[in-house]
Amino acid sequence: MVAEKVELITKSHKDEPAAHWTCDGSPEFTLEASDKTERGTEIILHIAEDSTEFLEEARIGALLSKYNKFMPVPIKFGTKEINDPEHEPATITDKDGKETKEPQKKITVDNIINNPNPAWTKQPAELEDENYKSFYRELYPSQFEAPLFHIHLNVDYPFNLTGILYFPKLSPRYGHAKG
């Protein structure tokens, strides 16, 4: 365990009092009322001395992405700068007639590290071929070729199953076995 102590401070969306739960890894814990007024949960980890590597931003981001990639709620991990989609850089002509483009304007947005609405949760009629290819690239970023084809599953009986099966192209190095 990377934490010497864990604290959860949480407030329900229901009209209930907030709670503060604390545990040091033993079977014992404390639960008491909290003065938190806004809905939501704060998780506070008191990191052990031998686990400080888990405080590195890249490590936290990798773990969040690996284990929460398709959580149904957006997970914000800091902010990031992107090109402003509403600002098209103008072309500036100087007195000698030389044209240059002004720099792209940047804006700061929340860094959402997961995809709360993956393609398999949507109906096939809502998606186009490009949506399927984009989702494939999200799943397999190191795969450079698009898949041969895909099958969108939406089964209700005898159990509920939704998903997308992708059939990748075979690389020449794998070849076909001939017998």
In a shared domain, residues 140 and 157: yes
In a shared domain, residues 108 and 134: no
Supply the range of the domain harboring residue 78.
72-115
- Measured CA distances, 27 to 30, 51, 62 (Å): 10, 22, 30
**At 131, which CATH number?**
3.30.230.80
In a shared domain, residues 108 and 129: no
CA distance 107 to 83: 6
SS3 3: strand
- Could you report the per-residue pLDDT of 33-72, keeping only the tens digit for each? 999 999 999 999 999 999 999 999 999 989 998 999 999 9
Asked if residue 124 has pLDDT above 70, the reply is: yes
In a shared domain, residues 110 and 140: no
Q: What percentage of the chain exceeds 70 in pLDDT?
A: 95
In a shared domain, residues 128 and 109: no
Contact in structure between 99 and 91 (CB atoms under 8 Å): yes
Asked if residue 175 has pLDDT above 70, the reply is: no
Does 137 fall in a domain? yes
Does 129 fall in a domain? yes
Determine if the pTM surpasses 0.85: no
Does 139 fall in a domain? yes
Does 7 fall in a domain? yes
What pLDDT, on a 0 to 100 scale, did the predictor assign at position 93? 82
Q: What is the count of structural domains for the chain?
A: 3
What pLDDT, on a 0 to 100 scale, did the predictor assign at position 174? 60
